[in-house]
Amino acid sequence: MNWIRRTYLYQLYHYQKKLFWIVVFFAAGTLFCTFRGNQSTPFWVWGMYSAPVPSHDTGSILLMFNQSGSVIPIYTNKGFKTRFYLHSPLIYFHSAQEIGKDPRKAFFETKLPSFYSTWIYPMEEKLFTTNFTPYGSWLKNYLGQMSQTAIDSVYITQYHYIFSSDKINITSIDTLYVF
């Protein structure tokens, strides 16, 4: 029984009883929520490993074209950082267009329904975006600065492809947005 005295919780109980009970209740609450099927904090970290890994023989790539049909170089070395700055806002914008509201709002409504209705709903207008129209002008300005050309319109196209043994076959082309 001497090994119990060397444990963290035993020592914590004897030195800081309040902190001991906070740690115990947090651990018990987390376990309770997990076994009940609810995701508790930090649900962004735990939930990121639950999606299936996609097949490596298929994929898609986004290409952005300007008004003259030229490709805006977001995948070059110069635009390496740019593609990361563009994909997250584009995915956010795309999600908002599909569901018709801020994706963060939809996430909180499904993951924390009682917390959302009690605490977040009264502050909803201040926390979540409802106006997505400035995104198109921001995108044109950002791409114009990055490519150092004036851009009047942007065509975002997604190419879906399949790897075969010796080449890449394009299976479909979707024009996602025109700004």
Radius of gyration of the chain (CA): 24
Question: Is the confidence at residue 109, as pLDDT, over 70?
Answer: yes
Residue 52's pLDDT is what?
67
Contacts of 108 (CB under 8 A, 6+ apart): 115, 116, 120
Instruction: Over range 92-115, report the average pLDDT.
Output: 75
Of 14-18, 77-81, 123-127, 169-173, the one with minimum mean pLDDT is: 77-81
Residue 129's pLDDT is what?
63
Predicted confidence (pLDDT) per residue in 73-90, tens digit: 776 655 556 666 777 777
**What tokens were used for 82?**
């740019």
How many alpha carbons lie under 13 Å from residue 174 in its C-beta half-sphere?
9
Of 25-39, 115-129, 161-175, the one with minimum mean pLDDT is: 115-129
